[in-house]
A and B are shown apart, each in its own frame.
Chain A
Amino acid sequence: MITVNGKSVQLTKCNLTEYLKEQGYNTQRVVVELNGKIIPKKEYENTVLKEEDVLEVLSFVGGG
C-alpha cells in the first residue's frame, strides 16, 4: 500500500511515469512530491515507487 493524495491505495505500478499514466494523469500538467521531496520531471522515468511511500500529485487544470 502507498498513500496518494492522503488516501491509502494499492500500489499497481512501481514506475512513477507508468503509475501516473495508469491513473490518468497528463505528466505535462502535474507536480509530484514523493515523501516530501519534489521529483523533477526528467526523473519520473527513473523513479521507483515502493511500499509505504507517500505520494502527492498536483494536477493543474487550464484557465487564467
Chain B
Amino acid sequence: MNITLNGENFATNAHCVSGLSKEGLFTPEWVVIVNGFQISEDTPIKDGDSVFIIPKSTLPGKEQLEAMLMARHTPKVHNRVKKASVAVMGLGGLGSNIALQLARTGIGSLHLIDYDVVESSNLNRQQYMIKHLGMLKTEALKEQIQQVNPYVNVKTTAVRLTEDNIIEYIKHSDVICEAFDKPECKAMAVNAVLENLPDKYMVASSGMAGLESSNAITTRKIGSHLYICGDGVTAAKQGCGLMAPRVSICAGHMANMILRIITGNYDV
C-alpha cells in the first residue's frame, strides 16, 4: 500500500506505525503524527494515511512543522488561520504577546507596527529580552516569531501611526488589532477604522493595569465589527502599574477573539 511519509509518497507493507522504522519510535526522542494527530503508542495504518516521524530535537521542515501545528488544532481551523492576515498596532505588553500567540497558532501573515525601541522598563511584561534592548520592537519581535514559527509571513513597519497615515498601513489586513498604550492612540485608531474601514473586524483594548481580579477582564462586542477587551476602567497610572499576568490575560482575550473571527465565530 501507499502512504505519505514525512510529506512524500512511500510504499510499504507495514500494518502499524512501528513497522515504518527500525528506531524505537515511542520514546521521548521522537514525534509521531498520524493523519494530523500526535500519537504516543503504536497505531495501525492503512492505504492513503499521512505519517510524520520526526526526531524531537531537530527543526522539522515546513510541511512537518505545519503538520505538527495541525496536530495541535484541527486541520480545518489550521487552514483558515494559515490564510489569515492580522495587523498588530503597538508592540508592547499586549501586542508582543498577541503576535507570538498568533504565530504559535499558525497565523499566515502578521503586520507588526510600532515606531519605538525596546527599553529596560518593557521587560516587566513585554515579550522581549535583555539582548533586545535598543532594538526596534518590530525587529525584536520578528526575530522571536521566527524562532517560534519560521513560516509566518511577517511584515514590519516602524512608523508612528496617526489619523493621517493609519488606514494606508492597515487596510490590507483581514483583522485589525489595536494594542496601543495611550488612550488617545486607542481612540484615534478605533475611530479611524470605524469611519474608514467599517467592514473590517477590529479587536481593541481598554483597562488591564493593576492587580484587580482576573475575572474583571472581558471581551465585549460593540456594534457589528468592534470588540473591546479589558475591564474598561483600570488605567495605568502612578501607583497602578501594568503587570505581566493581567496584561497577558487581556492579550489572551484579544488573540482568542482574533482567532474566533478568523474561524467565523463572531460572538464573544
Contact = CB atoms under 8 A, between A and B. Distances in A.
Contact of B205 (A28, A29, A64): A64
B93 A61 contact: no
B94 A61 contact: no
Contacts of B207: 61, 63
A58 interface: yes
A61 B181 CA distance: 9
B44 interface: no
A38 interface: yes
B183 A62 contact: yes
A56 B242 CA distance: 28
B206 A61 contact: yes
Contacts, number: 77
A7 to B, nearest CB: 15
B33 to A, nearest CB: 37
A33 B90 CA distance: 25
A22 B242 CA distance: 30
A63 B181 contact: yes
A28 B189 CA distance: 11
Q: What range describes how many residues of A lie at the interface?
A: 10 to 19
Interface in A22-40: 26, 28-31, 33, 36, 38, 40
A61 B191 contact: no
Interface string B169-205: 0000000000111111011001100110010000011
A41 interface: yes
A45 to B, nearest CB: 15
A38 B207 CA distance: 22
B92 interface: yes
A62 B237 contact: yes
A64 B187 contact: no
A54 to B, nearest CB: 12
A28 B242 contact: no
A60 B187 contact: yes
B93 A64 contact: yes
Nearest to B205: A64
Contact of A28 (B93, B184, B206, B232): B184
Given A61-B206, A64-B92, A64-B181, 9 more contacts: A28-B187, A30-B187, A31-B194, A58-B190, A61-B207, A61-B232, A61-B234, A62-B235, A63-B181
Interface of B: 90, 92-95, 179-184, 186-187, 190-191, 194-195, 198, 204-209, 222-223, 228, 230, 232-237, 242, 247
Interface of A: 26, 28-31, 33, 36, 38, 40-41, 56, 58-64
